[in-house]
Amino acid sequence: MKIILGTDHAGVGLKQDVIAVIQKLGHEVIDVGCNCSDSVDYPDYALPVCEQVVAGAADRGILICGTGIGMSIAANKVPGIRCALVHDVFSAKATREHNDTNVLAMGERVIGPGLAEEIVKEWLSTEFSGGERHMNRVNKVKAIEEKYRQV
């Protein structure tokens, strides 16, 4: 898979650990930044990640900021994105199985590299269950998105 990754200044410290995990699993990494500790705006990094996922240029995206909250909010404004803010392994698995998430958000100030590695491994290795009840719910989310999409 192609995994696109974006961080702000508060997530840049965890980025190399996450990249190493993705590559160790045999996936390709696309890094859209940031690459500094100077203050930057998280939407500037969430948007290119999400646009590439929606366009099919990347299979999934990972976003990291201080808490993961800002990145997840920005990501979920992009039609076609189902981003989950995850800070535990169980949620990483559940959000793939039940919600078919295509973007993962994490907070560097909330979790450390060891837990981030386990979350990324679980999230990348878990497939959407495709079960009728889960598909029905995902389709309802898509319908909400369509209702509010600007023409």
Which residue is associated with the tokens 């996450």? 18
Sequence-separated (6 or more) residues with CB below 8 Å from residue 29: 3, 4, 5, 19, 22, 23
CA distances from 80 to 60, 94, 122, 149 (A): 12, 19, 22, 10
- 65 catalytic residue (yes or no): yes
The pair of structure tokens assigned to 90 is: 């169980």
- 98 catalytic residue (yes or no): yes
H or E, element range at 28: strand 28-31
Q: How far apart are CA 27 and CA 36, in angstroms?
A: 24
Pick the catalytic residue from 27, 87, 98, 134: 98
Pick the catalytic residue from 9, 65, 87, 134: 65
Which residues are the active-site residues? 65, 98
